Amino acid sequence: MGRNILIIGASGDIGTAISKQLADEGYNLILHYFQNKKGLEQNRNGLDKETVLMAIQADLSQTEGIHYLLDQLVFPVDAVIFAGGQAHYGLLQDMDETSMDAMLTLHVKAPWTITKHLLPGMIQQKQGRIILITSIWGEVGASYEVVYSSVKGAQNSFVKALSKEMAPSGIAVNAVSPGFIDTKMVQHILSEEKARIIDDIPANRVGTPDDVAHAVSFLMSEQSDYIHGEIIHVSGGWCS
């Protein structure tokens, strides 16, 4: 393959699984992380050293952090995967404006700005992949996660709209929409509640980060060349 892939949020469970999947398939990786340096190092240690071009630490919930990341990119980028993010649990009326702004910047402005920066190179090459890891809550919504549901819905709309602009240039824009995936993001859920959720999932199990990585792998492949603007559910049939 030899293509260079920027993975946003490479220190998380899903980002780590995607990194391993794509490294095994011969891609070169640029790994972004923010606070979880230990997770990033564990991810790197599990990969062939030659597959990792560089790692970049940046806070993408701040505009300055977005521009810092872009300033650090010294390699051409053939594809970008937005696998990072942060959930926020609680009632909407209890959420302060600063937290709202950070969620908007992290989940909406960062993909906008990073993608805008990378598009000229992809357009010149007449090929590229832009993949966002969104959430089923971006489509059906979730109580106590109103802002998270809102920004994930914005990501889905971004994918659908941008795909129409980019398809003529050979650039595919798609999303993977996970359901209940076994990551640190759901560790706060009590075992009894988790069991009830599993009962509601037709596949009768929790999803894994590898399930998400396999969908990303397909969207990165030539077999998906005619897929543009799709939100692919990886949910075991839950909430569909």
Q: What is residue 191's predicted lDDT score, i.e. its pLDDT?
A: 75
In this prediction, residue 240 has a pLDDT band, given cuts at 50, 70 and 90, of: low
Helix (H) or strand (E) holding 117: helix 110-125
- Among the listed ranges 9-13, 74-78, 91-95, 159-163, which one has the minimum average pLDDT value? 91-95
How does pLDDT run across 149-192, given as a tens digit for each residue? 999 999 999 999 999 999 999 999 999 999 988 887 666 666 77
Q: Which of 27, 89, 144, 148 is catalytic?
A: 148
- For residue 141, which amino acid is it? G
Q: What is the mean pLDDT of residues 205-215?
A: 95
Would you say residue 92 has pLDDT above 80? yes
Q: What is the mean pLDDT of residues 49-69?
A: 96
Q: What is residue 230's predicted lDDT score, i.e. its pLDDT?
A: 98
Q: What is residue 1's predicted lDDT score, i.e. its pLDDT?
A: 46
Nearest to 3 by CA among 23, 34, 28, 22: 28
CB atoms under 10 Å from CB of 214, counted, come to: 15
Question: How remote is the C-alpha of 47 from its chain's centroid?
Answer: 19
Q: Is 89 a catalytic residue?
A: no
- What SS3 string covers 84-118? CCCCCCCCHHHCCHHHHHHHHHHHHHHHHHHHHHH
Q: Are residues 38 and 66 in contact, defined by beta-carbon separation less than 8 angstroms?
A: no
- For residue 119, which amino acid is it? L
Q: What is the mean pLDDT of the chain?
A: 93
Measured on CA atoms in the order 9, 12, 14, 15, is the torsion positive or negative? positive
Whole-angstrom Cα distance, residue 20 to residue 214?
Answer: 11
Q: What is the mean pLDDT of residues 212-231?
A: 97
The residue among 1 and 204 whose pLDDT is bigger is 204
How does pLDDT run across 11-58, given as a tens digit for each residue? 999 999 999 999 999 999 999 999 999 999 999 999 998 999 999 999
Whole-angstrom Cα distance, residue 61 to residue 108?
Answer: 10
Q: What is residue 195's predicted lDDT score, i.e. its pLDDT?
A: 84
CATH placement of domain 4-234: 3.40.50.720
Q: Which residues contact 91 (CB under 8 A, 6 or more apart)?
A: 144
Q: What is the mean pLDDT of residues 103-116?
A: 98
